Amino acid sequence: MAGKNVVLFGPPGAGKGTQAAKLVELLAVPHISTGDMFRYHIKNQTDLGKTAQSYSSKGELVPDDVTIAMVKERLSQDDVKEGFLLDGFPRSVPQAEALDTILDELNLSLDHVINIAVSDDEIRGRLSKRASIEGRADDADPAVIQNRIDTYKNQSEPCLNYYRPKGVVRDIDGIGTIDEVFERIGAVFS
């Protein structure tokens, strides 16, 4: 299966984590989730975790230099030689440019940007539901949810316009069952 260097994209609550778990199994590549990295550091109260928490608790993005250094170190590891699934990075055009530089330095390329498209109303509903099911405090406050949506639209969504001229964006309808959405994603690789 060719073209296994993938970025998974979509607004908060689009189902990226759920789809990522299925996609790494399909592609047999490591799942590189900046969210998981940050949650690990926050849980363990490392210096990076404390810095990340001070931003994420307000629905803001962690500064680029911290995130970029973490991603570069991870993409330098041997297990990404056959491919990778990046989830939660890049989240801004400067991060996308930094990723291009990292990939060039490592002699890697980006094959697909899988964009799971979901409406704002759907996001609000999903995040509220996730807050009650998983107890995620960052999903419980409507003002924080709106801030996350606004942050995504203003900082992250422009990445798609950065990648579109490169011909790597694959827009996927994110409405439907988990399996229906995954079937649409899987079709990209068949």
Active site residues: 16, 91, 130, 136, 148
Do the Cβ atoms of 106 and 79 come closer than 8 Å?
A: no
Tokens read off for 117: 């498209």
Do the Cβ atoms of 42 and 98 come closer than 8 Å?
A: no
